[in-house]
Every structure is written in structure tokens, then in C-alpha cells.
Structure 1
Amino acid sequence: MKYKLGDFVRFVDEKMEGFVTRIIDEQMIGVTGEDDFEIPVLASKVTYIHGYHPAEATKSTSTADEKPVTPGEFVQKGVYIGVVTDARASSVVHFHLINETSFQLLATLTTDKQQTFKGEFAGVIAPKSTENMYSAQLADLQVWPKFIFSVLFSTKQNIEPPAPLAVHEKFKAKDFSTTKKNIPLLNQPGWLIRLDEPELVIDAQKLKESFFETPTEKIVIEKPVSEVDLHIEKLRDDYQFLSSSEIMEIQLAHFHKALDAAIVHQLPDITFIHGAGNGTLRNELHKQLGRHKKVQTFMDARKEKFGYGATKVLLK
């Protein structure tokens, strides 16, 4: 496949043009025009529009252009992945390796999709520069492969390079649910993921002293409401990007938090609204309530109001 996401193309047989927003297979691509409608088309039926350069494209400085930096000014930390949306095709996101250090980076990106590995990028990123490594459809986040980032550090100066980085990342919807921030060097809004996390330094003396300190703050647990709605749209704004297993995990975590708070505040009962659906969440709640030591009994709550979509829990 010679085309990649974000390429600007023109139809051979029609007066239409747009951006590649989906790679369907080796022969088919999806092209989105000004009307934001994606059209599947054979790759052989479109052609590049020469002279167009995406705003996201950045050029790396040649390895021979490394400028001397005094040891005091040499920056050793600051390797990130910046994820930004395409300026013209908002459904497409681009992954940029951002090098804020004074090292040259020898970087690769390999994708792992169910043990099928593919080299997506290999190159040199100059100090204080960026490089576009990969592009993807944000709507396909649930089926994105695992990303394997590898980075080596290099400099002609008399400075010891840090250990190579090998970061394995499986992105989830929650990684893109936060507010966008301005990405350094790109000067575009997006999401920033740090690859060279600062090392955790443990002060043994302070750790020893902490064992003998009296807690100064008391943990305050808020009193829960009498009816707790576990529908995922009530708990998360980005629920449409979550898988069924992630949804269940979030709902159960909220259930346990509310149940524990009800026990702490010695409430006589609490009702969980889980909906009828296919009964998966209801069955899981009943299974966990059945073996909880602080639960006296539980039952369907007010069938005239909830049907079989809520459970009332009586506490000891």
C-alpha cells in the first residue's frame, strides 16, 4: 500500500479530492472530502496531489548538523510521543516522536497485532525536533495494535548517554479522554505521553522515619446517595470508546466504592441501578453481594419503578 493516512489524493475518474482517512486493505482505501463523508475507493483509482504538504509534516535535522552544547546546557531528559489530530482530516491522528533533549535519537516503532509484528518507522530525530512516526483512525482505537517504541541516545560530545528505551504501550480510550494540551515543538493541541519517565529515587532515611510518623490527615469518605446509578453513561463521558470489559470494570469499581461508603456510614440499605440489559452486570453484583460479610440480604428494588433493573441491598 503506497498511500498512508493523511495523504491528499484526487480521484482519477471523477472531479473529487480528499484525504486518506482509512486503510481498508492492500487494494482499498477510504477517502474523506470536504463534506466529511468517507468514500471507499480502489487505491488504483486515486493519485497524489503533488505540492501538498500536511501541516503535521516536520523535517528532521541531519545528523551532521549537531551543534556543540556546553555541559551545563546539555538537556538529557525529554522524550515524548505527541498525538495530534490531522489539520484537514479530524478523524485521523498522527503520532510524533518529540525530542526535547540535546541527544540525537535513533528511534524505531514496531506494531504488534496479535503477535503479528510490523516495523512502522525507523530513523534519526535530531535534538529539539520531531518526527511523524505513525498515523491511525481515532475511531478504531479499540483495535489499534500494541506499540513498541525503541530509542537509542547518541551525541558527539563527551557525555555518557542514558540506557536505551524500550516502551510497550497498548493505548486505551482513557488515554485520550483528558483535555488536550499544547504539544512542545509541534505547537499544536494534542495528547502527550512521556517515554523517558524520571527515575524514582527512594530516600531510605525518610522512608524509615515515615514508619514512625503519626498520620496528620484523616481520610474522609463521602456519604453515598441512597440510589446509585451504575449506567456507564452516568459514570464516564467517553463511554462510547470503551470496550465491554472496560465498562464492566468501571461499573464494578463504582459499585464497590459506594458499597464500602455505605458500610462506613452505617446506612441501613443502598440501591444499585444496573439496568436489565442482558443481566451480566446484575448477575455479577448479586454474586459479589452474596459472599459479602456486611450484607444481610438483597432483592429486586421497587419493580414498579425499576422493573428488574435495580437491586436493593440491606446492610448488617
Structure 2
Amino acid sequence: MKYKLGDFVRFVDEKMEGHITRIIDEEMIGVTTEDDFEIPVLARKVTLVHGYKAPGTEITTDTNEPQTPQGEFKTKGVYLGVLPDAKANSVVHFNLINDTSFQLLITLTTEKQVFKGEHAGIVAPHSAIKIYSAQLADLQLWPKLVLNILYYTTQNFEAPSPLIISEKFKAKDFAGSKKNLPVLNQQGWLIQLDEPDFVIDAGKLKESFFKSADEKVEVAKPAREVDLHIEKLRDDYQFINSSEILKIQMDYFNKALDAAIVHHLTDIVFIHGVGNGTLRNELHKALGKNLKVQTFMDAQKRNLALAQRGYY
């Protein structure tokens, strides 16, 4: 099939266009239109719209290596940057970011029962190329990505050892906040591929064992209203399943409730939304068991009255 996730296409028989958000099989694709409705369609019934480029899809074709001054030659900075498609948010693009002064020779193979070559090419110094795209809803089904990276330069610098990365990405790999991606200068998830192995700082570890018992943990005073909607708590909520979302919301709730008790707040409001009622039920269970909570009310009153005594 000539199409890939994120491609912008136009229907042959209708005045419609949109982005490919699903590869169903060798003949069928899913196209999401401007109204965010995904339409299954035969691949032969659409045509590629030339000129549109999704973020991170620009490929540097100039392989002439620029000569970098001796003191400015950069040997570290190979990243995998994951960007949501600007038009089809259900699709993400994996970009190989080369922020070093080396040329990188790369291959990408996916492994899921069978091996499939996905990309091979050269990444010029201080540039980035898209190497893979995936559907967010299928995150748990993503194949293992196998990256092989070789360093090359015509200048008088020793090339580092080749990088071989074999990784089956999961939601937890995108648990951190979005960052500004080097070279691309866009917000996304960043994974450094040439980072050295994590080294434990023995000095800091020793200090953590011998902290004074008199040291007190400072608890920040919570806001009067605490919004528990997952999009307010995490930037990566698209990657998290429902059970993990509930755990994150309850952990945030318990932390805010404990802080309210510590600071002797007489009331606090938790905004949980409507949804299917699962979060609301869990909140009610937790509040009903907490001896510090005097009363709690839902919807109309929206106040959680905390006990006036027993804080000490």
C-alpha cells in the first residue's frame, strides 16, 4: 500500500478530504475528515494531496557534510521525538532527531511476529526526519521498534560505537510532560537514545538514609477547587488506559485532601465531571471512610466539609 498514517488524501468520487488515521488492511483505510469522523474507504478510492506535510515529515536530502569548527563539534544528541499530527490528533509521528555534528546512517525495523523494514536513510547533522507513524488507539498493539544507528564524519573525530535500540513502547514511556523538541522546535515527547546508563549517586543515596528525624515535609496549601479531569492532571492522557487514569485521579484527590486537612481548610471542592460515574463512586467511598471528613455533598452544594477537630 502506498499510503501511510497521517497522509492527506482526497476522495475520488466525493468532494471530501481528510487524513489517514488507520490502516485497516491491504485494501481498506480509515480517513478522518474535518468533523473528526473516521470513514472506512477503499485505498483506490482516494488520492494523495501533494504539498501537505505533517510536522516532522520533512526529510533533509542534502548529504554534503558541513565542516564544523574543532571546538564546536557536538558528539551527543540523538533523540526519538514523538509528535501528534497537527490535523489528525489520533496519529503520532516518530522522528529521529540528530542534534550532533555527525551524519547518522539509520535503519528501522518493526517486529511483531514478522519483521518489516520501515525506514532506511541518512540523517544530516542538526536535522530530523520522520521514520514511523502509529495510531494512538492501538498503542498496546504497537510492534517492537528496532533501530540501528551508525555515526559518520569526514572530519578528524572518532565515531561513537553504533547504537542498537530495541524497544516495545508502552503508555508509561510517555508519562512525562511534553518538551520542546530539539531541531524541530515543537512540543512533543522526547527520548534520548545516546544517553549513558543511569548511574546511582552514592553520596546522595547515603544522605537520603541519614536524614534528620527533625526534618519536616512541607505540604503546599491546595486550591479551594481541585479539578480532577485527567486532561488537567497529565499532558499524556491520550496514552493512558482507564484504570491508570482512575489511579492518577484518586492519588491526586488523596494528596489534595490530606493537604486540606493539614492546612485546616473548612471546605474544599473536587470537580470530577459526569462520565460513567466510576470516579464519583470511588470518591464517595474514600470520603465515607475518612474520619477527618465531617460531611460531603454532591452537585448542588459542591462542598466538602472537613471536621473541625482531630487534626493534631
- Specify the TM-score bucket, using the shorter chain as the normaliser: 0.5 to 0.7
Tell me the CA shift for residue 249 of structure 1. Answer: 1.4
Distance 2:267 2:14 in 1: 67
Deviating more after overlay: 166-175 vs 129-138: 166-175
SS at match of 1:44: helix
Distance 1:72 1:57 in 2: 29
1:7 is aligned to: 7
**CA 1:215–1:244 in 2, change beyond 3 Å: closer, same or farther?**
same
Tell me the CA shift for residue 17 of structure 1. Answer: 5.1
SS at match of 2:246: helix
Tell me the CA shift for residue 36 of structure 1. Answer: 6.7
Distance 1:305 1:136 in 2: 43
Q: Check whether the contact 1:150–1:167 (CA below 8 A) recurs between aligned residues.
A: yes
SS at match of 2:119: strand
- Alpha-carbon RMSD across the aligned residues, in angstroms, is 5.0
Deviating more after overlay: 244-253 vs 159-168: 159-168
Distance 1:278 1:190 in 2: 33
Deviating more after overlay: 2-11 vs 194-203: 194-203
Q: Check whether the contact 1:224–1:258 (CA below 8 A) recurs between aligned residues.
A: yes
Distance 2:278 2:210 in 1: 49
Distance 2:218 2:18 in 1: 55
TM-score (norm 1): 0.66
Q: List runs of 5+ in structure 1 lacking aligned partners.
A: none
Tell me the CA shift for residue 247 of structure 1. Answer: 1.9
TM-score (norm 2): 0.67
**CA 1:148–1:282 in 2, change beyond 3 Å: closer, same or farther?**
same
1:99 is aligned to: 98
Q: Check whether the contact 2:296–2:305 (CA below 8 A) recurs between aligned residues.
A: yes
Distance 1:32 1:267 in 2: 48
Q: Check whether the contact 1:58–1:131 (CA below 8 A) recurs between aligned residues.
A: yes
Summarize deviations over 1:130-181 as a string: whole Å, max 9, x none: 221122455x375562663524332355515146252633246965964x74
**CA 1:151–1:70 in 2, change beyond 3 Å: closer, same or farther?**
farther
SS at match of 2:96: strand
1:261 is aligned to: 259
1:54 is aligned to: 53
2:163 is aligned to: 164
Distance 2:15 2:229 in 1: 45
Distance 1:41 1:303 in 2: 46
1:301 is aligned to: 296
SS at match of 1:20: strand
TM alignment of 1:78-227, pairs within 5 A = 78-84=77-83, 86=85, 92-111=91-110, 119-137=117-135, 140=137, 145=142, 148=145, 150-156=147-153, 157-162=156-161, 164-166=163-165, 168=167, 169-171=169-171, 178=178, 181=180, 183-186=181-184, 189-195=186-192, 196-197=194-195, 219-224=217-222
Tell me the CA shift for residue 68 of structure 1. Answer: 5.6
**CA 1:160–1:211 in 2, change beyond 3 Å: closer, same or farther?**
farther
Instruction: Count the aligned residue pairs.
Output: 302
SS at match of 1:256: helix
* Aligned amino acid, residue 151 of structure 2: S
**CA 1:46–1:146 in 2, change beyond 3 Å: closer, same or farther?**
closer
1:247 is aligned to: 245
* Aligned amino acid, residue 219 of structure 2: I
Distance 1:20 1:279 in 2: 33
Tell me the CA shift for residue 58 of structure 1. Answer: 1.1
Distance 2:299 2:38 in 1: 46
* Aligned amino acid, residue 60 of structure 2: K
Distance 1:145 1:278 in 2: 30
**CA 1:240–1:311 in 2, change beyond 3 Å: closer, same or farther?**
farther
Deviating more after overlay: 51-60 vs 295-304: 295-304
**CA 1:206–1:92 in 2, change beyond 3 Å: closer, same or farther?**
closer
2:28 is aligned to: 28
**CA 1:197–1:260 in 2, change beyond 3 Å: closer, same or farther?**
farther
**CA 1:297–1:2 in 2, change beyond 3 Å: closer, same or farther?**
same
Tell me the CA shift for residue 250 of structure 1. Answer: 1.3
1:73 is aligned to: 72
Tell me the CA shift for residue 103 of structure 1. Answer: 2.6
Alignment identity in percent?
A: 46
**CA 1:147–1:306 in 2, change beyond 3 Å: closer, same or farther?**
farther
